[in-house]
Amino acid sequence: MGIPQSDRAGIWTERLKQCHQRVGESRGLVVEGKITRMIGLTLEAVGCRAAIGGQCDVISSTGERIESEVVGFAGESLYLMPTGDIRGLEQDARVVPTGRVCEAIVGDHLLGRVLDGAGRPLDGKGRLHAIERRPLTGKVFNPLTRTPIRKPLDVGVRAINALLTVGRGQRLGLFAGSGVGKSVLLGMMTRYTDADITVVGLIGERGREVKEFVENSLGEEGMARAVVVAVPADNTPLRRMHGAMLATSIAEHFRDQGKHVLLLMDSLTRFAQAQREIALAINEPPATKGYPPSVFAKLPQLVERAGNGDKGGGSITAFYTVLAEGDDQNDPIADAARAILDGHIVLSRRLAESGHYPAIDIEASISRAMNDITSKEHQESARAFKQLYSLYRQNQDLINVGAYEPGNDERIDAAIQAIPELERFLRQDMNTPVSQEESLAELDELFL
């Protein structure tokens, strides 16, 4: 028996639909190129065309596809930067433009997960199912549509709550050299900050710190409402940059849902160094202490994506760690970061070596949004604290060697009498949170 006429019509209709779908998905003719030169991690290809930021697959002799991104061009040559391992790559390897750009997988299913710079899971908890994607580069805000910073954010650290009050949507730099308690302070803010979601970007740091941060700083309870993007120092510079942008894209997604997000980026310096490696590899001339101009253009493009949104009531409060090389606060990246951030918290090696934790240098730190989100009484108390503390520090050497005689200056006498309580106020155990209300109450008690 033959197939009924009605069934044959249905089969042909289905086949036509499939053909139409395949034609719609077709990208047309793809012109392949080949690798002509490799210097360091930079691949030079000829024979094909692709836009800046576009992805290409480089086919090795074993047939393995190596993902790469277009980072520049000159004449007929494209400059590619691989995102993974390039061992086994040979001269004249095929280059196939894919027509894609790097995107971030976002969604609530990311909560509790640890990802690499490409958005792949590192925690062994199974695959991620893409529900929504958004570009890694984010979107540009009209500055007039942003919601102003109007509400304080409780970070659980007494010195910051009282003297360097942080607002929802503020972006601050955490300036520190090595070994002065930067990671400990980040961990405290991660556990104690009053935020709906925490997004952590561990960019270019030591690989062992990832597991320590997840287990010790976040813990099981903190990890339940957190997303961690970990791109250690042994990753390619392009992957490190993608990691910072991925963490920011994930934070943007939750902000657009109306949630208050805490974004911790450790570190902004490693992000800048990754861009420097890429820029120098494609022969961009260095300008400031070995940093090409593109580095100082990329920093505000990343930082400006944080902050309050223009709709939905969500916010991204961001802390970016900045590594002061040799404790030099005039390092080009540190200097550029101070200019584009809404304040900075400086950690002092002198305080850390004396056992003072957190080692926050109150004199060198500032929150530019504090006057907009605190009461006049709070501001006066904080100003009085800083004046007494600074006055003692300015005369500390004279006091220690006995060159100052009590009674010569009433202000210095008051500072000497108050300094034990001021230093006690600035110290805090890492396992003991202090709320905003408790911080202000203790500050007021100092001047009763």
Q: Is the pLDDT of residue 318 over 70?
A: yes
Contacts of 281 by beta carbon, 8 Å cutoff, 6+ apart: 39, 40, 41, 42, 79, 81
> Can you tell me the mean pLDDT for 342-362?
91
Q: What is the pLDDT of residue 2?
A: 55
Tens of pLDDT along 47-59? 898 988 899 999 9
Model confidence at 369, in pLDDT bands (50, 70, 90)? very high
Query: By percentage, how much of the chain surpasses pLDDT 70?
Result: 91
Check pLDDT > 90 for residue 64: no
Are residues 160 and 190 both part of a single domain? yes
Last residue of a domain, one of 349, 373, 397: 373
Mean pLDDT of 24-46: 79
Structural domain includes residue 1: no
φ, ψ of residue 117 to 5 degrees: the values are -65, -20
Last residue of a domain, one of 373, 392, 414: 373
Q: Which of 129-133, 249-253, 338-342, 351-355 has the lowest mean pLDDT?
A: 129-133
- Looking at residue 1, what is its pLDDT? 47
Considering the domain architecture, whether residues 304 and 238 belong to the same structural domain is answered as yes
Q: When comparing pLDDT for 7 and 305, which is higher?
A: 305
Picking from 373, 406, 428, the residue at the C-terminal end of a domain is 373
Q: In this structure, what CATH number is given to the domain that contains residue 411?
A: 1.20.1270.330
Helix (H) or strand (E) holding 158: helix 158-163
| The pLDDT value given to residue 140 | 80
User: pLDDT category, 4, cuts 50, 70, 90?
Assistant: low
**Low-confidence winner among 17-21, 266-270, 326-330 (lowest mean pLDDT):** 326-330
Domain co-membership, 327 together with 409: no
Confidence of residue 21 (pLDDT cuts 50, 70, 90): low
Q: Is there a single domain that holds both residue 66 and residue 166?
A: no
Same domain, 72 and 175: no
CA 348 to chain centre: 22
Rounded Cα gap, residues 444 and 275, in angstroms: 46
If we measure between CA atoms, which residue out of 124, 48, 135 comes closest to residue 93?
Answer: 48
Model pLDDT, residue 368: 94
Residue with tokens 């942080």: 166
Task: Say if residue 176's pLDDT is above 70.
Answer: yes
**For the chain, how many structural domains are there in total?**
3
139 and 227 both lie in a single domain: yes
CA distances from 155 to 17, 106, 314 (A): 57, 26, 17
Q: Flag whether 54 is in a domain.
A: yes
Average pLDDT over residues 374-390: 94
Is residue 25 a part of any domain in this protein? no
DSSP 19: H
Same structural domain, 53 and 176 = no
Amino acid 130: pLDDT: 64
The verdict on residue 7 lying in a domain is no
pLDDT tens figures, 199-223? 999 998 887 888 888 888 787 878 8
Parent domain of 297? 104-373
Annotate 268-285 with DSSP letters as a single string: HHHHHHHHHHHHHHTTPP
pLDDT score of 293: 93
Largest distance between two CA atoms of the chain:
117
- Contact by Cβ (8 Å): 205, 182: no
Q: Give the residue-averaged pLDDT of 368-388.
A: 94
- Residue 320 sits in the same domain as residue 397: no
Residue 267 within a domain: yes
Provide the mean pLDDT of the chain: 87
Is the pLDDT score of 442 beyond 90?
yes
Cβ neighbors of 84 (< 8 A, separation 6 or more) are 66, 67, 236, 239
φ and ψ at residue 411, rounded to 5 degrees? -65, -40
Tell me, what's the pLDDT at 7?
57
162 in a structural domain: yes
**CATH code at position 54:** 2.40.10.170
Give 78-129 pLDDT, tens digit per residue. Answer: 999 998 878 778 888 999 998 888 888 898 889 999 999 888 899 888 888 7
For position 310, what pLDDT does the model report? 79
Residues 273, 339 share a domain:
yes
pLDDT at 10: 60
Contact (CB, 8 A) for 92 and 47:
no
